[in-house]
Amino acid sequence: MEAAKKQNVSNLRRKWNKFWTYISKPQNAILLVLGIILTVTTIYPMVTILNDTVQIHPGSIDAPDPNASGAKALEKEAEKEAAHFTLLGNEMTTYNWVNLFTGTEITRINRKRVEMAVAATYLIPALKNSVLISIFACFGAILYGGIFAYLVTRTNLRFKKYLSAIFIFPYIMPQWTLAVMWENLFDSAAITGGSDGLFASLFGINMPQWWCEGLFPVSLVLSIHYAPFAYILIGGIFRNMDANLEEAATILNTPRYKTFARVTLPLVKPAILSTILLVFSSAMGSYPIPHYLGLDTLSTRYVQMNADRAGQASILAVIMMLFGILIMIVNQKTTSGRKNYTTVTGKSGQSSLVNLRLARTPISILFILLTLFMGIFPIILFAVETFLPNPGDYSFLKGNTSALTTKWWLNNENVTEQGMYGQKGILYNAEIWNAFKGTFIVAICCALAAGIIGTLIGYCVSKNRRSKWAAYVNNIAFLPYLMPSLAVGVAFFILSANIPNLYNSFLLLILAGTVKYIPFASRSSLNSMMQLSGEIEEAAIIQDIPWWKRMGRIIIPIQKTSIISGFLLPFMTCLRELTLFMLLCGQGKIITTMLGYFDEMGLYAFSSGINLILIIMILAFNALINKLTGASIDSGIGGDS
């Protein structure tokens, strides 16, 4: 008996010594702590969504319509069902799931009472549209961004530096920029209602409904917005492709189209797949573009259902989360089994550029016009909108210059003037500048928190490359990036309901933003840390230099560019974030949530002014960052030539 006790004590002591030896290394201790923190902050909010789907919320059960004609028995059954589920209180129930997928409701179509499936009304159209816009956005982004990447890196296209810099503008700018521009261009009172856009005002052209709103414009705008993804990922491979592969095909007299199909495209497949994964997940959770362009998707449907069908709305968020998890699994499967292409013919040179010949100038001019329309024209249009007495009225272009006004910017006293609704001009409006202040607070805090955590994750994972725990931490840190932004926002929205005073606080916004943006910093840090030789730090360890000094004096100075990028990407993204934050705070807390408020009031000039300030601010920060750090989104792709 005593021998058994001694053996147990010895085993415990051995395990304790092994654990103590493990955590005595700073990278292991940090990895352990970060893994626990990320598991709680990422998984727990998701669990709260699942829990919300099995709860009955007050007012979420449809009461019978006293004005509806029909059998009284049906009304009594509805009353009985409503009373039953109201009594459940906080007990778990499958009612939300059963009702959403198999339930029916009574509605009126052409003054007739019609019984319709709940799924056909609330779920199926939104799910179908979300999947379709994600697929079309992937196809459009790869087609547009991939062709542009090929032209910049592999041909003698003119004005590469300018085109490369302007091409990424639609992604740097807020997501809804192109959607609002589309409205200002093509909306008309006859087709979409409201004021006439530029085409209707100047040329009397009323574009058809399918062109103004719905699936086509949403897919097109998302494709343009995410095309820089394809340009950066595909362009990087085109730029660094081994010239020997194509030269070998040329020596064998292989036609250029066969070389492109059999040699070039297989090499670009990993970048295409990465683009599909990133664009699909991002488009799936997009809210502003479908909202402005009038398309029913899972994100817009969630916002509509959250008031009176909260539990069923949470099911939509779960569906979006499942798409994110599916994308992560596909990403893991494809990267683990990805083929490697190698050459054994010696040192390679740069591939010769394809001569566009007579098409060189026309293609260059075409892309100049496209980039001007998608990158510069929105800025001009927003600026013009802020000087129109009635936004959308472009009569000044016909010679009526007296139609212009500066009241939207400079009105400081006459707030009762027509159309001002008691608001001071943008430059004197304290609410707007307080919202900008809140945006900067959230952006700076998110950047610091996500940057520090992401840098530590990159460092620790690179030091434990074969560890299963390191792989888990790396995946759990990257998961929020693959999750639709609205799903992450919903998770923290439901979480805030269970914690007093958390909703509408900067703490909640910073927490959600940090979790969402950690992948930016962690991947940037990991990629750079993996290139760092272990001998550098080992030399410092031999001299008994503490870990914090090794990080501050050796690791960080060597990898400062990548580490700075890990701080700046969350900062830049947070400035223009709407989908993630719109459920977590009131309309005046940060600037992006004020856009909807001004649109609801009819102050479209104010929302245009805020858009203009945001775009200029983001572009200015991007230019400043490039100047100070030398980092550029399009660097290394061909934009410098």
User: What average pLDDT score do residues 25-51 get?
Assistant: 86
- Give the pLDDT of residue 398: 64
Q: In angstroms, how far is the first alpha carbon of the chain from the final one? A: 79
Q: Which residues pair with 117 in a beta bridge?
A: 104
By CB neighbour count within 10 A (0-12 exposed, 13-18 middle, 19+ buried), where does 15 fall? Answer: exposed
The listed range with the strongest mean pLDDT (318-322, 331-335, 546-550, 624-628) is 318-322
Percent of the chain that is helix, strand, coil (3-state, to 5): 70, 0, 30
User: What average pLDDT score do residues 552-577 get?
Assistant: 78
Amino acid at 395: S
CA 163, chain centre distance (Å): 24
Question: To 5 degrees, how large is the angle CA 565–CA 567–CA 573?
Answer: 90
* Residue 368 pLDDT grade (very low, low, confident, very high; cuts 50, 70, 90): very high
**Is the confidence at residue 495, as pLDDT, over 60?**
yes
Residues 550 and 431 sit within 8 Å (Cβ to Cβ): no
Cα separation of 345 and 227, whole Å? 35
- Give the pLDDT of residue 112: 67
* Residue 2 pLDDT grade (very low, low, confident, very high; cuts 50, 70, 90): low
> For residues 273 and 219, which has the higher predicted lDDT (pLDDT)?
219
**Is the confidence at residue 640, as pLDDT, over 70?**
no
User: What average pLDDT score do residues 500-506 get?
Assistant: 89
Residue 405 in 3-state DSSP?
Answer: coil
pLDDT digits (tens, 9 = 90+) for 289-323: 999 999 999 999 998 888 778 888 889 989 988 88
Residues 6+ apart with CB under 8 A from 237: 267, 268, 270, 271
**Is the confidence at residue 73, as pLDDT, over 50?**
no
Question: Which letter does DSSP use for residue 262 in this model?
Answer: I
Segment among 267-271, 345-349, 429-433 with least mean pLDDT? 345-349
Q: Which residues pair with 114 in a beta bridge?
A: 107
**Is the confidence at residue 443, as pLDDT, over 90?**
yes
By CB neighbour count within 10 A (0-12 exposed, 13-18 middle, 19+ buried), where does 545 fall? Answer: middle
**DSSP string computed for 594-632:** HHHHHHHHT-HHHHHHHHHHHHHHHHHHHHHHHHHH---
Short-list 352, 230, 313, CA closest to 583: 313
Q: Of 1.20.58.220, 3.40.630.10, 1.10.10.200, 1.10.3720.10, which CATH number belongs to 427-602?
A: 1.10.3720.10
Q: Do domains 120-341+354-423+609-629 and 427-602 have the same CATH topology?
A: yes
Q: How far is CA 399 from CA 99, 184, 198, 202, 396, in A?
A: 59, 20, 15, 12, 5
Query: Residue 25, by phi and psi: left (phi above 0), alpha (psi -120 to 50) or beta?
Result: beta
> For residues 363 and 551, which has the higher predicted lDDT (pLDDT)?
363
Q: Which residues pair with 115 in a beta bridge?
A: 106
Return the HEC string of 442-491.
HHHHHHHHHHHHHHHHHHHHHHCCCCHHHHHHHHHHHHHHHCCHHHHHHH
Mean pLDDT across the chain, nearest whole number? 79
Cα separation of 265 and 261, whole Å? 5
**Is the confidence at residue 633, as pLDDT, over 70?**
no
- Give the pLDDT of residue 556: 74
Residues 247 and 448 sit within 8 Å (Cβ to Cβ): no
Amino acid at 228: P
Residues 371 and 163 sit within 8 Å (Cβ to Cβ): yes
- Give the pLDDT of residue 45: 84
Residues 561 and 630 sit within 8 Å (Cβ to Cβ): yes
- Give the pLDDT of residue 345: 43
Query: Residue 57, by phi and psi: left (phi above 0), alpha (psi -120 to 50) or beta?
Result: beta
Alpha-helix residue ranges (DSSP H) falling in 498-589: 506-529, 534-542, 547-550, 556-558, 560-575
Amino acid at 17: N
Short-list 31, 36, 19, CA closest to 463: 31
pLDDT digits (tens, 9 = 90+) for 326-344: 887 876 676 554 444 444 4
**Is the confidence at residue 147, as pLDDT, over 60?**
yes
> For residues 149 and 251, which has the higher predicted lDDT (pLDDT)?
149
Q: Domain limits of the chain?
A: 120-341+354-423+609-629, 427-602
The listed range with the strongest mean pLDDT (3-12, 512-521, 543-552) is 512-521
**Is the confidence at residue 602, as pLDDT, over 70?**
yes
Question: To 5 degrees, how large is the angle CA 129–CA 132–CA 134?
Answer: 110
Which value, to the nearest 10 degrees, does the dihedral of the CA atoms of residues 568, 570, 574, 579 take? 150
* Residue 485 pLDDT grade (very low, low, confident, very high; cuts 50, 70, 90): confident
Question: Which letter does DSSP use for residue 423 in this model?
Answer: P
* Residue 47 pLDDT grade (very low, low, confident, very high; cuts 50, 70, 90): confident
314-352 burial, b for 16+ CB within 10 Å, e for fewer?
A: bbbbbbbbebbeebbeebeeeeeeeeeeeeeeeeeeebe
Cα separation of 369 and 363, whole Å? 10
Amino acid at 370: L
pLDDT digits (tens, 9 = 90+) for 215-241: 999 999 999 999 988 888 888 777 766
Stretch (H or E) spanning 113? strand 112-117
Residues 585 and 528 sit within 8 Å (Cβ to Cβ): no
Residue 355 in 3-state DSSP?
Answer: coil
As its CATH architecture, domain 120-341+354-423+609-629 has: Orthogonal Bundle (1.10)
Positive or negative CA dihedral for 603, 608, 612, 615? positive
* Residue 56 pLDDT grade (very low, low, confident, very high; cuts 50, 70, 90): confident
pLDDT digits (tens, 9 = 90+) for 106-137: 666 666 666 778 888 888 999 999 999 999 99
Cα separation of 534 and 409, whole Å? 57
User: What average pLDDT score do residues 158-183 get?
Assistant: 87
Please report where in the chains the tokens 């933003």 appear, as a residue: 513
Q: Give the tokens for residue 329.
A: 């699994």
**Is the confidence at residue 522, as pLDDT, over 60?**
yes
Positive or negative CA dihedral for 211, 212, 214, 217? positive
**Is the confidence at residue 57, as pLDDT, over 90?**
no
* Residue 76 pLDDT grade (very low, low, confident, very high; cuts 50, 70, 90): very low
Which value, to the nearest 10 degrees, does the dihedral of the CA atoms of residues 370, 279, 239, 252 take? -100
- Give the pLDDT of residue 499: 85
Residues 195 and 599 sit within 8 Å (Cβ to Cβ): no
> For residues 179 and 528, which has the higher predicted lDDT (pLDDT)?
179
In this structure, the number of other CB atoms found within 10 A of the CB of residue 420 comes to 18
